[in-house]
Structure 1
Amino acid sequence: MRILLVLAHPLEESFAASVARVAKETLEGRGHTVDMLDLYREDFDPRLSESERGSYFSEPYDDAEVSGWIARLKAADGLVLVFPQWWFNFPAILKGFFDRVFAPGVAFEHDSAGGRIIPRLGNIRLFWALTSTGSPWWVVHLYMGNPVRRLLKRGIAAFCAKGLDFRMLALHDMDRATEDKRKRHLERVRALVSRI
C-alpha cells in the first residue's frame, strides 16, 4: 500500500515528529511505500489564494500552486495524519492543507442540484490520524465532544471518500505526559500501524 504520511508540526524534534518517524519505520518495515509530507519542512503555505477560492465553484479549480501536493494525494492508497491538537482543532497549516489540496475536482465534486457533495478520493482506502492534545481525556470527550475526530470522520473523510478504514489515536494530557507515558504511546502507535 502507498501511504501519504502528513506531518504538521513546526518543531523538528517534536513528539509529533517522533510519532511520524515510528509510523514511517513501521509501515516501511511491513513493506508499504511511504511518501513523507512534512508540511513545515516543505514550506507549505496554508493560505487559500484568491484564484483558488475564485475558482472553487467553476471548472476547473485553479490548482497551479498546489498541483504537486494534489498529485501525491491522488497517488496514495492511504492517508496517515500526524499532528497536535491546538485549541481543540487542527494546526493552521493542516487546515490549510485541507482547504487547498482537498479541493473541488480532487477530493469532491459539487452536486449541481445543490445537495451533498460527491466524494472523489476513491483511491484512499485508509484515513488515520495520530494526534496529541494538551487536555485530559474527559475535557476532550465529555466537555468538548471530541471536535477533531468529528471533523475528520464525519466531515472530511466521509465527504471525500467512501468505505474508509478510519481510525484516530490520541495521546491526551500531553502537557503533563512523562517520558514513560510518551514511550508507551509510541509503542501503541507502532502496534496500531503494524496492523496496516
Structure 2
Amino acid sequence: MSRRRFLLVLAHPLEDSFAAGVAAAIRTTLETLGHEVDLLDLYREDFDPRLSDSERSGYFAGGYDPGSAAPLVERLMAADALVLVFPQWWFNFPAILKGFFDRVFVPGVAFDNDPKGGRIIPRLSNIKLFWAFTTTGSPWWVARLYMGDPVRRLLKRGIAAFCAKEVDFRMVTLHDMDRADAAKRDAHLERVKALLTRL
C-alpha cells in the first residue's frame, strides 16, 4: 500500500452532523492506515464561496489569480487524493461546496482553457483518487431514477473527468437519510471504513 496525502473536504454547517461523523471516521481510518490527511472543514474555516469580481474578470486571462482562495489551492495541489463529504440538498451540492469548486478548481490549477475554444484541458494531474461520501433525504429511486443522479453526474463527468485524467472516481451515498435509524447509519459508517481499508 502506498502512502497518500488526502485532502478531506467537509461541507456541513453542524459540528455534530452525520456528515461530520463520516468525515471523522474517514480521517481516523486513513491515518490508521498510514496516510496523511488534511481536513478542510469549509464551515469551520469560514470559507467564502463567493467568486469575487477580480477572480471572475481574470478567469480567461493568463496567470489567473485565485485571490484569497490561494491557500486552499495550495492545499489541493499538495494532495494526491481528494475525498468530499457532504449532504445533497435539492439534488445538488451545498452552496459552500459549489463555491469551493468555483474558487479552487480554477484555470491554471484544475484545468486550462483551450485557446482555440472547445473543451477545457485537464490539469489536476496530482489527484489520482477522487471519492465522495454523501447523503440524501430521498429514497434511492427518486435520486437515481426520477432525478437521474445529478450529483454523481456533475462530480464524475463535469468535474473529475474535466480536471483529472485517469482518476479513480467513486461516490457512496446513504439514501433516505431522514428516516435512517442508528443501525442504518452505523452500517453505513462500517461500509465507508471497509472501502477505505481496501485502498
Asked whether the two chains share a fold, i.e. TM above 0.5, the reply is yes
SS of the residue corresponding to residue 31 of structure 1 reads: coil
Who is 1:88 aligned against? Answer: 91
Who is 2:159 aligned against? Answer: 156
Give the Cα–Cα distance (whole angstroms) in 1 for the partners of residues 123 and 198 of structure 2: 26
Alignment of 1:90-169 (within 5 A): 90-169=93-172
Who is 1:41 aligned against? Answer: 44
The one-character-per-residue Cα deviations of 1:164-194 (angstroms, maximum 9, x if unpaired) are 0000000000000001100000000110111
The TM-score with structure 2 as length reference comes to 0.98
Most deviating of 59-68 and 142-151? 59-68
Amino acid at match of 2:116: A
The one-character-per-residue Cα deviations of 1:41-97 (angstroms, maximum 9, x if unpaired) are 000000000000000000121212111000000000000000000000000000000
Amino acid at match of 2:97: L
Identity of aligned pairs, percent? 72
RMSD: 0.5
Q: Which ranges of structure 2 fall in alignment gaps of 5 or more residues? A: none
2:8 counterpart of 1:5: yes
Divergent runs of 4+, >6 A: none
1:121 shift after superposition:
0.3
Q: Which ranges of structure 1 fall in alignment gaps of 5 or more residues? A: none
Who is 2:66 aligned against? Answer: 63
The TM-score with structure 1 as length reference comes to 0.99
SS of the residue corresponding to residue 93 of structure 1 reads: helix
Amino acid at match of 2:142: V
Aligned residues: 196
Aligned pair partner of 2:26 in 20, 23, 26: 23
1:102 shift after superposition:
0.1
Alignment of 1:182-193 (within 5 A): 182-193=185-196
